[in-house]
Amino acid sequence: MLELFQDPEAAQAAAVQLAKANNTGLGIGAGLAAGLAAVGAGMGIGRIGGAAAEGIARQPEAADAIKGSALIFAAFVEGVALFAAVIGLMLATA
């Protein structure tokens, strides 16, 4: 350990080795998890909205029921996406 204080090259080599050992890609994984959660939620909510619009176009008298159901389903999808993003970002701080 004493050679680290006496030899700057040894200290630099030890720092590089420590940085390589600690770089496990958690930041990249957290970013991918949060991004994929957002993309998945966007696709899911888009499909819900499209199906709701098609249902309202086919049966306009059921528009209120369809809107309510679509809103509840969109909230469920958004909740799962938020949970996935939080878990992904928790990985970055582990």
* 1 pLDDT more than 60: no
Per-residue exposure over 18-56, b if at least 16 CB sit within 10 Å of its own CB, e if not = eeeeeeeeeeeebeebbeebeeebeebbeebeeebeebb
Domains of the chain: 25-93 (1.20.20.10)
Residues 6+ apart with CB under 8 A from 7: none
pLDDT score at 83: 92
pLDDT tens digits for range 20-78: 666 667 778 888 888 899 999 999 999 999 999 999 999 999 999 999 999 999 999 99
Measure the CA–CA gap between 81 and 21, rounded to whole angstroms. 32
Distances (CA, A) of 80 to 25, 26, 34, 42: 24, 21, 12, 12
Full 3-state SS string of 43-65: HHHHHHHHHHHHHHHHCHHHHHH
